[in-house]
C-alpha cells in the first residue's frame, strides 16, 4: 500500500479510510498526494500514437512527413496492433486480453484490448518495452511528457 491505491467504489473507499486511520495511529504524521481522474493521461496515449507512427515509418522505411492521412492512420494502427501482439507473446499478461462476442452469431473470440484501458503501471511497462524494442531495431523513440517523468522518478 506504500505505493498508492485507487478509490473507485464503496469497498475501496472503506479500505482506504481504514488504511489511513491505521497509518495515522502507527506513524502520527504522513504526507499524501491525490490525483483525480482517469488512470492514464492523454500524454501517454498521445505518446503511444506518436511512437507508433515513428516506429512504423522506421520499419517500413517511410518518412512520416508527406504521408496521406489514411496512410498515416494505417501505419499507426498496424504498428499499435503489431506491438501489442509482440508484447503479449513475450509476457502473456492477462490484462491485455478481452473476450469479444459477436452479437449476431454469439461466437466468442479472444482479442487484445485497446491500450486506452491500460492502467498507469501497465502502460508504463508497455512503453518501456516498446522503447527498448525500437532501439534494438535502430529506432530511437524519445521519452516525453508523463512517461519521461515516470522514467526519471524510477529508483
Which tens digits make up the pLDDT trace of 36-84?
655 455 578 889 999 999 999 999 999 988 899 999 999 999 999 999 9
Q: Give residue 2's pLDDT.
A: 39
Are 93 and 121 in contact, with CB atoms under 8 Å apart? Answer: no
Domain that includes residue 141, residue range: 42-153
Does residue 61 sit in the same domain as residue 93? yes
Does residue 80 sit in the same domain as residue 93? yes
Cα(55)–Cα(135) distance, integer angstroms: 10
Are 98 and 112 in contact, with CB atoms under 8 Å apart? Answer: yes
Give the mean pLDDT of 122-135.
96
Q: Count the domains in the chain.
A: 2
Residue 47 has φ and ψ, to the nearest 5°, of: -65, -40
Does residue 96 sit in the same domain as residue 140? yes
Does residue 75 sit in the same domain as residue 106? yes
Does residue 84 sit in the same domain as residue 131? yes
Does residue 8 sit in the same domain as residue 48? no
Does residue 64 sit in the same domain as residue 107? yes
Give the mean pLDDT of 23-48.
76
Residue with the larger pLDDT of the pair 45 and 126: 126
Contacts of 67 (CB under 8 A, 6+ apart): 57, 75
Residue 23's Cβ-count burial label (10 Å; 0-12, 13-18, 19+) is: middle
What is the signed CA dihedral for 51, 57, 60, 62, rounded to 10 degrees? -170
Place of cell 488512470: 39
What is the Cα gyration radius of the chain? Answer: 20
Secondary structure, 3-state, 65-97: CCCCHHHHHHHHHHHHHHHHHHHHHHHCCHHHE
Q: Give residue 102's pLDDT.
A: 97
97-101 and 108-112 as β-strands: parallel, antiparallel, unpaired? antiparallel
Cα(72)–Cα(142) distance, integer angstroms: 19
Amino acid at each position: 500500500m506504500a505505493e498508492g491505491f485507487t478509490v473507485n467504489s464503496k469497498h475501496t473507499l472503506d479500505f482506504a479510510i481504514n488504511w489511513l486511520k491505521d497509518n495515522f495511529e502507527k506513524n502520527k504524521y504522513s504526507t499524501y498526494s491525490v490525483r483525480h481522474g482517469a488512470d492514464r493521461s492523454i500524454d501517454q496515449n498521445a505518446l503511444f500514437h506518436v511512437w507508433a507512427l515513428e516506429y512504423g515509418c522506421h520499419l517500413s522505411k517511410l518518412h512520416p512527413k508527406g504521408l496521406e492521412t489514411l496512410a498515416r492512420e494505417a501505419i499507426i494502427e498496424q504498428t499499435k496492433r503489431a506491438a501489442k501482439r509482440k508484447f503479449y507473446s513475450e509476457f502473456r499478461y492477462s490484462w491485455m486480453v478481452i473476450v469479444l462476442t459477436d452479437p449476431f452469431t454469439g461466437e466468442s473470440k479472444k482479442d487484445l484490448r485497446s491500450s486506452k484501458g491500460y492502467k498507469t503501471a501497465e502502460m508504463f511497462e508497455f512503453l518501456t518495452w516498446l522503447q527498448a524494442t525500437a532501439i534494438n531495431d535502430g529506432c530511437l523513440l524519445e521519452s516525453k511528457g508523463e512517461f519521461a517523468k515516470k522514467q526519471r522518478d524510477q529508483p
